[in-house]
Amino acid sequence: MAADDETLTAPYLLTYDYRRSCGPVIGRFLAGLRAGRIEGVRTAGGRVIVPPVEYDPDNGEPTGDFVAVSSTGTVVSWAWVVEPRPNHPLARPFAWALIKLDGADTAMLHAVDAGRPSRIKTGARVKARFAAERSGHIRDLACFELEDA
């Protein structure tokens, strides 16, 4: 404990190891990542949602069949991280991006290893880089990279 003139303070580390159950939709998507492919799910209205969710965010109806989508896509928004934090996917400066994969109607958030901020822009084409070792987890997608890189 450290003391100042009036109140005492102490360092405190809170740790929880939650075991997340995935269910059939997320579990299937993560199994796809493990196998090196990206899948979305089709709504009754015909839209393809990636990453997939159990219910259509527009109307709460159950979503339907799985649809393979491309591992390439288009940046719809991005933010440049000057100083990555320890729990970020990349240790060097990178871009977060909302990426609409070819064949999908919604954007997914992930990191883009673009090197420097001048190389990324809205509309940039990116492709997925899969991790060498995969376990069925969102970080089986190591990050995205510029398609022309």
Partner 1 sequence: MSARREVAIVSYAQTSFAPHTKLNDAELVMEAVTAALERAQLPRKQIGFCVSGSSDYLTGMPFSFVGALDAVGAWPPIQESHVEMDGAWALYEAWVRLLHGDIDTALVYAFGRSSLGDLQDVLVAQLDPYYLAPLGVDPNSLAALQARALLDTGRASERDFAEVATRCKRTAGGAPLDAPYVVSPLRAHDCPPVNDGAAAIVLAAGDRARALCKRPAWIRGIDHRIEAHSLGARDLTRSSSTTLAAVEAGVHTAPIEIAELHAPYSHQELIVKEALQLGDGVRINPSGGALAANPLMVAGLARIGEAAQQILDDNARRTLGHATSGPCLQQNLVCVMEASS
Partner 2 sequence: MSDGGADDKIEIVKGFIAPVRLRYTVNAGRASSRFLRGLTEGRILGQRCPVCHKVNVPPRGACPTCGVPTEEDVQLGEVGTVTTFCIININFDAKARELPYAAASIVLDGADTTLFHLIQEVPVAKVRMGMRVRAVWAAERGPSLESIDHFKPAGEPDAPYDSYKDHL
Q: Does 135 bind partner 2 (CB under 8 A)?
A: yes
Q: Judged by CB, which is closer to partner 2: 6, or 148? A: 6
Q: Amino acid identity, residue 108?
A: M
Tell me which residue has tokens 């995969």.
134
Task: Identify which of 109, 81, 107, 74 has the alpha carbon closest to the alpha carbon of residue 95.
Answer: 81
111 contact choice in partner 1, partner 2, none (CB below 5 to 8 Å, kind-dependent): partner 1
Q: Which range in 2-10, 53-61, 72-80, 92-100 contacts partner 2 by CB under 8 A? A: 2-10
Yes or no: say if 65 and 29 are a contact pair by the CB < 8 Å rule: no
Q: Which partner, partner 2, partner 1, none, binds residue 62 by CB below 5 to 8 Å per kind? A: none
| CB contact at 8 A, 112 and 143 | yes
Task: Give the binding site for partner 1 (CB under 8 A).
Answer: 4, 6-7, 12, 14, 18, 20, 22, 26, 30, 49-51, 53, 57-58, 76-82, 85-89, 96-98, 100, 106-111, 117, 122, 137-139
Sign of the alpha-carbon torsion through 59, 60, 65, 70: positive
